[in-house]
Amino acid sequence: MKIGIIGAGNIGATLARKLVVSGHDVKISNSKGPDTIRDLASDAGAKAVSKKEAVQDVEVIVLSIPFVKYPDVATLFNNVPEATVVIDTSNYYPFRDGAIADFDGGKPESVWISEQIGRPVVKAWNAVLAVTLAEKGQSSGASGRIAVPVAGDDPEAKAVAAKLVDATGFDPVDSGGLSSSWRQQPGTPAYCTELTISELKAALQSADKARAPENREALIQQFMEAGDNLTHDDVVARNRAGTT
């Protein structure tokens, strides 16, 4: 497939590399221009382009940018065909993004993003840590393979996202429509806890919408206090303990 990625941070860059390895044609962009990511793109086997070029002549667009940037990319979608699948990988953190009243009032993140860009999105890869995405993918059918929730309202778009999740080394789990995508947001048992299919399904069902923001803030406080003293496994363990 032809895929355009907007955002060249840890998640966007890792997705570019993995999707290229899986045989996809990938373009990647960032906010500073293609010259700033040519080496990164070359290493991944992708093509460095502008944001405008990233959404042209592609079947899938992956958005992996901070929340405050979504209104800035809205106009990019003016001429994007309706059939193009748009995947959102982002998460809301008030300490980084500033307080957004809609989220604090309970609106799911990806619902807000759909409103900002005027396009329906599928939410995927948001509930994995960068190290998990980069290092813990396995081939389909592998024992203990980590599962990734995929939420969306369009069954065909969600199926495309699920295939790409599988291509990056993880079992896709249909987590419902966008209105219930809060079940895979920060502070829930499904978020960055490295679960198998059966475990993830149970975690999604056990999510508590009212408690999730409280869990998120408590965990962020723990991580800030710990600084660089936590290993990746420590982070996963704290996420599990702090969301049950």
Q: What is the pLDDT of residues 143-179, one digit of tens each?
A: 999 999 999 999 999 999 999 999 999 999 999 999 9
DSSP 3-state of 28: strand
Look at residue 164 and tell me if it is in a domain.
Answer: yes
Quick check: 204 pLDDT over 90? yes
Instruction: Assess contact for 62 and 4: CB atoms under 8 A.
Output: yes
Average pLDDT over residues 213-235: 94
Look at residue 210 and tell me if it is in a domain.
Answer: no
Average pLDDT over residues 89-100: 90
Q: How many CB atoms lie within 10 A of CB 171?
A: 19
DSSP 3-state of 183: helix
Look at residue 169 and tell me if it is in a domain.
Answer: yes
pTM for the model stands at 0.95
Whole-number pLDDT of residue 53 = 97
Which CATH number belongs to the domain containing residue 84 in this structure? 3.40.50.720
Alpha-carbon gap, residue 167 to 7, rounded angstroms: 20
Q: Work out the angle at residue 221's Cα, subtended by the Cα atoms of residues 216 and 227, and round it to the nearest 5 degrees.
A: 125
Look at residue 77 and tell me if it is in a domain.
Answer: yes
Counted domains in the chain:
1
Using CB atoms within 10 Å of the CB of residue 130, give its burial: 0 to 12 exposed, 13 to 18 middle, 19+ buried. Answer: middle
Instruction: Assess contact for 121 and 114: CB atoms under 8 A.
Output: yes
Look at residue 243 and tell me if it is in a domain.
Answer: no
What is the span of the domain harbouring residue 130?
66-179
pLDDT per residue as tens digits for the range 42-93: 999 999 999 999 999 999 999 999 888 898 999 999 999 999 999 999 999 9
Look at residue 30 and tell me if it is in a domain.
Answer: no
Look at residue 193 and tell me if it is in a domain.
Answer: no
Quick one: what percent of the chain has pLDDT higher than 70? Answer: 100
Look at residue 102 and tell me if it is in a domain.
Answer: yes
Report the chain's terminal Cα–Cα distance, integer Å.
38
pLDDT band at 103 (very low <50, low <70, confident <90, very high): confident
